[in-house]
Amino acid sequence: MPDGTPARTLRDIPGLIAAGLARASDRAALEAVAARYAVAVTPAVAALMDPADPADPIAAQYVPHPDERVTAADEHPDPIADEALSPVKGIVHRYPDRALLKPLLACPVYCRFCFRREQVGPDGGVLTEAELADALGYIAARPAIREVILTGGDPLMLSPRRLRAILAALDAIPHVESLRIHTRVPVAEPSLITEALTEALATDKALWVAVHVNHAREVSPAARAALARLVARGIPLLSQSVLLAGVNDSEAALEALCRALIAARVKPHYLHMLDFAPGTARFRVPMERARALHRALRGRLPGHAIPTLILDIPGGRGKVPAGESHVARAGEDWIATDPWGAAHAYPPPVAAPGESR
Ligand SMILES: *Cc1c(COP(=O)(O)O)cnc(C)c1O
Ligand code: SF4
């Protein structure tokens, strides 16, 4: 960076301009965006950006863009209907066996494509003690809930003390068998993954951490070290990425991302189709292209390095795999398409006597 890496998190347009990350000529437009959607660029993330590259895949994710002022006709402030599925504040409950718990709505950075962008922000969204007790009570009263997913905002923005209290309360609910935390902290503010924080994550129940990462460069040395600190505590790591035009919509970018994740001991898990959040049209990758990119990973990467292409059906109808199936019906039998595109009967054809296959 020409001006050196900023020492503090950049939270406004003048700060981004001064750091060389936004153009002064865009100031008025970007001020209008910042008045509507939260802005934060941590020093760790700013250090990954190349201000000389107008198409920088890191800057594209975090630096506001004038196009965010326009909400397209197909975009919606609550694209996957969290609100309609929220029985009490801080809970989203769509599947009988899993519930989301959102203890706060602050994040280390604010992604320009976030599906909760109308809700997340630095001021607000922290559940009060009473609200948290109500949310935990909702979970405790429903034996069908087997997994609690802490999300937000970013749960790892909580103090270790508060996080410990929430995890201890969940640990004490007998029917909750496993916990999951969705976070961008290891990438966006790896220094927050302290000894005290990883200690707070010690649970009796299995705790899985799903890390939001979209580009190989985000798996920086500091991020790798933070992830290693979680692994050292016995925490299994999954990734979730969003397929984003201008960030990772090429075979090479996706392959590099998946390889960087595997090398950091993170299982590439979900590659999300972008939700229809307001002002995000510039990131959209059409389904046809998304499926072609996803298909190209098969045969090119180890099996465990390939994420599932996943679509959260708009309106809160649930997540479904969006990739192509390699196996299709053919009358009574099936046809399997190999990684190179050739079709094969399944079960295999039975050789006639005396014939070799
Ligand atoms: C995404 C989501 C989940 C978790 O789904 P998985 O496929 O298990 O990751 C659970 N509840 C809600 C409301 C969700 O949006
Ligand atoms: S970290 Fe997650 S919740 Fe926060 S702005 Fe980014 S995508 Fe949204």
List the chain pLDDT tens, one digit each, 357 residues. 445 678 899 999 999 999 999 999 999 999 999 999 999 999 999 999 999 999 999 999 999 999 999 999 999 999 999 999 999 999 999 999 999 999 999 999 999 999 999 999 998 789 999 999 999 999 999 999 999 999 999 999 999 999 999 999 999 999 999 999 999 999 999 999 999 999 999 999 999 999 999 999 999 999 999 999 999 999 999 999 999 999 999 999 999 999 999 999 999 999 999 999 999 999 999 999 999 999 999 989 999 999 999 999 999 999 999 999 999 999 999 999 999 999 999 999 888 877 665
Ligand nearest to the CA of 107: 2
The pLDDT of residue 4:
60
Q: Which residues of 328-347 are buried (b: 16+ CB within 10 A; e: fewer)?
A: eeeeeeeebbeeeeeeeeee
312 catalytic per annotation: yes
Residue 351: what pLDDT?
81
Residue ranges making up the domain that contains 54: 13-69
Closest atom of ligand 2 to CA, residue 116 = 8
DSSP assignment of 46-75 equals HTT--TT-TT-TTHHHHS--GGGGPPPTT-
How far separated are the first and last CA of the chain, in Å rounded?
61
244 in the same domain as 120: yes
Same domain flag for 147 and 277: yes
Annotated catalytic residue: which of 26, 36, 95, 267? 95
> In total, how many domains does the chain have?
3
- Which residue, judged by its Cα, is nearest atom 13 of ligand 1? 94
- 3-class DSSP assignment, residue 90: coil
- The alpha helices in 273-340, defined as continuous H runs, are 287-297
Closest ligand 1 atom to Cα of 92? 13
**Ligand 1 contact, 91 CB (< 6 A):** no
Domain co-membership, 36 together with 122: no
Q: Supply 300's token pair.
A: 């090119």
User: Please, which residues have CB within 8 angstroms of residue 73's CB and are 6 or more apart in sequence?
Assistant: none
Which residue among 11, 27, 98, 267 is the active-site one?
98
Ligand 2 pocket test, candidate residues 111, 181, 243, 283, most atoms within 8 A of CB: 111
DSSP state of 326: S
Phi-psi region of 211 (alpha: psi -120 to 50; beta: other; left: phi over 0): beta
Asked if residue 213 and residue 257 are part of one domain, the reply reads: yes
State yes or no: is 259 an active-site residue: no
104 C-beta neighbours (distance < 10 Å), count: 21
Q: Are 107 and 123 in contact (CB under 8 A)?
A: no
Answer whether residue 194 is part of any domain. Answer: yes
